[in-house]
Amino acid sequence: MAEYKRSTMIADAPSGYCPGCLHSLATRLVSDVLDELGQGDNSLNVISVGCSALNILYWNGDFCSVAHGRAPAAATGIKRTNPERLVFAYQGDGDLCAIGLAEIMSAANRGENFTVIFANNQTYGMTGGQMAPTTLIGQKTTTTVYGRDPHSTGYPMKMCELISTLEAPVYVARFALNSPKGVREARAGIKKAFQAQMQGRGFTFVELLTNCPTNWHMTPLQTLDYMNTNTIPYFKPGVYKDITE
């Protein structure tokens, strides 16, 4: 039985995340993999805007906090000038697939040799639960009070599916963090992405389906069930592209 230890990449400080929020699990997975790969000091966390920015409060490694949606652009400047570093951007769904859509698609298309960890909780958490591009059809938010209507707001955007159509990315995968199995697979996926980056293979993208108990107006346990019945059937977990071997 392995000993459960605090990751060296996470400072002994409150995370700032709401109780039951899977963001803290997602960052925990990233930090564990960095520890396992011995890359803690060499890593550089490019922190975006939204709840993902709460990383600033407790991330123990080098980090660069950047403008909303621009993490893949800033990471490009970082990695191109310091290719020896293990660079990853940690972005939420408003940041990545609304305001930062051009940056993520273009960085992926250029095959930038860094990793994007994409936490998809289908809402804008920090600003109070507005509709995100990933919000499910019928889901109620503060800007879709009767539920998301595809006739006026379109459909939830599937980033793994989009990015895997590009030539350059080498690893594109989605995992759901609402089950132990999903968590184990996600950890392995993050490790695979980081290893591919360390080998200089190119752009890697790991989407993590997360929750938002506060803005979904559910208990944490209810969110896990909701993910099973609503999120996962639409955003299907799986490896969408893998040419790392």
Partner 1 sequence: MSEKRFMKGNEAIAEAAVRAGCRFFAGYPITPQNEIPEYLSWRLPEVGGAFVQGESEIASVNMVYGAAAMGTRAMTSSSGPGISLKAEGISYLASAMLPALIVNISRGGPGLGSIQPAQSDYLQATKALGHGGFHAMVFAPNSAQEAVDLVYEAWEYAERDRNPVMVLMDGCLGNIMEEVELPPMKKLTDEDLPEWSLTRRNGRDYQGNITPIYTEPILEGINTMAGEMYKAWEEEDVKAESFLVDDAEYVVVAYGIASRVAKEAIMALREEGFKVGMIRPITVFPYPKKLIHDLDYSRVKGIIDIEMTIPAQMREDIELQVAERCPVYEYGRSGGCLLDDEGVYDAIKAIVTGGAD
Residues that bind partner 1 (CB under 8 A): 41-42, 44, 46-47, 53, 56, 60-67, 70, 73-82, 85, 102-103, 105-106, 110
State both tokens at 194.
């980081």
Q: How far is the CB of 66 from partner 1 (least distance, A)?
A: 6
Nearer to partner 1, 106 or 144 (CB): 106
Q: How far is the CB of 239 from partner 1 (least distance, A)?
A: 27
Nearer to partner 1, 55 or 120 (CB): 55
Q: How far is the CB of 206 from partner 1 (least distance, A)?
A: 20
Q: How far is the CB of 221 from partner 1 (least distance, A)?
A: 33
Contacts of 120 by beta carbon, 8 Å cutoff, 6+ apart: 92, 93, 134, 159, 207, 208, 209, 210, 235
Find out whether 43 and 9 touch, Cβ atoms under 8 Å. yes
Nearer to partner 1, 59 or 235 (CB): 59
Nearer to partner 1, 106 or 179 (CB): 106
The CA distance from 50 to 242, in Å, is: 29
Nearer to partner 1, 105 or 188 (CB): 105
Q: How far is the CB of 97 from partner 1 (least distance, A)?
A: 15
